[in-house]
Amino acid sequence: MSADPRRRVLVEAHGDDVDGAARFFGSGYGEVGGLRFVASDQPFHWRHTTRGDGELTLRTTHFSGEVTGTIQPRGERIIQWIGRGSALMDIGRDEVTPELGQPMPFPWGRPFSFRVTDVEQNLLHLSDRVLDEVASEREDAYPGSVRFDHTAVIDDEGRTRFNAALRHIARTYLDDASDDTVRAETARYAARVLLDTFPHTSRRLPDEVLAPRNASLREAVEYVHSRAHEPITPSGVAKHAGLTPRGLQQAFSRHLDTTPSEYLRAVRLDRVREELVEGSADTVTVAEVAQRWAFAHLGRFSASYVQRFGEYPRETLHRA
């Protein structure tokens, strides 16, 4: 998703060149294992449209042919529903063959493999920021902790509600005249729809953090969880939460029995472990996951990992 949530997005592209399709789609979905396009009985052709902004986009792709690959989208949640053709998602793991019209979240937080054939694929992309914000308000959830069950089948009633909500979202996002405020509220509405439609889990913030008197601490904790992949510092966290660096230190010590730096390191270690548990040694290395979560020195990272989890990161990955 765009760094500027208000920036309008319009993409229309098409072609009959396999290499051109690989270049176009490979850059947009966190390609891990390469995308492979193969013509079927019909001449190969593809067409793609994206409409939206930096928080939410609606996309439609038509392929005449087969597409396989391994991807790991980042910074957004993706919901798919197939209008024509066939799809096999999360190959070799929790495989799903979605029915036509059945909405399905993409697996999140790990690479997954897929195959689609002669397909009309419809997609809703929603930024993690919006989903995290709404999940925090509704479920007191840690940012980044929502996990949708992509294997769940939505019943007819749920699908009817989802389609009605989708029509409302589309009316706003396909209308060039809709203003930024309406779009922002519609993106939040989309987050509520996803939370209501798809079975999911999330981790709840501690009671101490949720206490009204500790609103600044909650602001700091949520900021750490939502920005842990960025080069943030304790002083930056304090500034965001409206505290002095010393005040932040005292709040973390009093209520969480840790320091801001130690808390940030623990969050990053937890995120690394989540990726390793969900990952595969065929597509992921410990070094690249550690570096993605700001651990530059692999020796110190490994020692911290063992201290927190009682095993080496490579053991976690190989067991997964």
Here the CATH number for the domain that contains residue 134 is 2.60.120.10
- Whether residues 177 and 73 fall in one domain: yes
Pick the closest to residue 123 from 138, 140, 106, 147 (CA basis).
Answer: 106
Query: What pLDDT does 1 receive?
Result: 57
- Whether residues 99 and 55 fall in one domain: yes
* Residue % of the chain over a pLDDT of 90: 79
Q: Residue 31 above 70 pLDDT? A: no
| Bridge partners, 68 (sequence order) | 36, 115
Distance separating alpha carbons of residues 320 and 307, to the nearest angstrom: 20
Question: What tokens appear for 179 in the block?
Answer: 């203003």
Distance separating alpha carbons of residues 108 and 17, to the nearest angstrom: 30
Q: By residue range, what is the domain housing residue 86?
A: 1-199
Distance separating alpha carbons of residues 230 and 187, to the nearest angstrom: 24
Summarised one tens digit per residue, pLDDT across range 80-128 is 999 999 999 999 889 999 999 999 999 998 889 999 999 999 999 999 9
- For range 255-277, the mean pLDDT: 96
Q: Residue 2 above 60 pLDDT? A: no
Looking at per-residue confidence, does 22 or 252 come out higher?
Answer: 252
Query: What pLDDT does 283 receive?
Result: 79
- Whether residues 176 and 219 fall in one domain: no
Number of structural domains in the chain: 2
Question: What tokens appear for 197 in the block?
Answer: 């439609």
Question: What tokens appear for 307 in the block?
Answer: 């201290």
Domain of 280: which CATH number?
Answer: 1.10.10.60
- For range 15-23, the mean pLDDT: 86
- Whether residues 43 and 108 fall in one domain: yes
How far lies 192's CA from each of 16, 51, 59, 78, in Å? 38, 20, 20, 14
pTM for this model (two decimals) = 0.86
- Whether residues 73 and 153 fall in one domain: yes
Q: Residue 131 above 80 pLDDT? A: yes
Q: Residue 35 above 90 pLDDT? A: no
Query: What pLDDT does 110 receive?
Result: 84
- Whether residues 146 and 238 fall in one domain: no
Domain finish residue from 163, 180, 199? 199
Mean model confidence pLDDT for the chain: 92
- Whether residues 148 and 50 fall in one domain: yes
- Whether residues 17 and 148 fall in one domain: yes
**For residues 229-241, b (16+ Cβ closer than 10 Å) or e, as one string?**
eeebebeebbebb
Domain finish residue from 175, 199, 223? 199
Q: Residue 61 above 90 pLDDT? A: yes
* Residue % of the chain over a pLDDT of 70: 97
Query: What pLDDT does 111 receive?
Result: 85
Query: What pLDDT does 30 receive?
Result: 59
Query: What pLDDT does 74 receive?
Result: 86
Domain finish residue from 163, 182, 199? 199
- Whether residues 86 and 216 fall in one domain: no
Query: What pLDDT does 319 receive?
Result: 83
Summarised one tens digit per residue, pLDDT across range 171-227 is 999 998 899 999 999 999 999 999 999 999 999 999 999 999 999 999 999 999 999
- Whether residues 232 and 299 fall in one domain: yes
> How many CA atoms lie within 13 Å of 77's alpha carbon, on the beta-carbon side?
26
Q: Residue 33 above 70 pLDDT? A: no
Q: Residue 253 above 80 pLDDT? A: yes
- Whether residues 147 and 215 fall in one domain: no
- Whether residues 101 and 9 fall in one domain: yes
Q: Residue 40 above 80 pLDDT? A: no
Are 272 and 305 spatial neighbours (Cβ–Cβ below 8 Å)?
yes
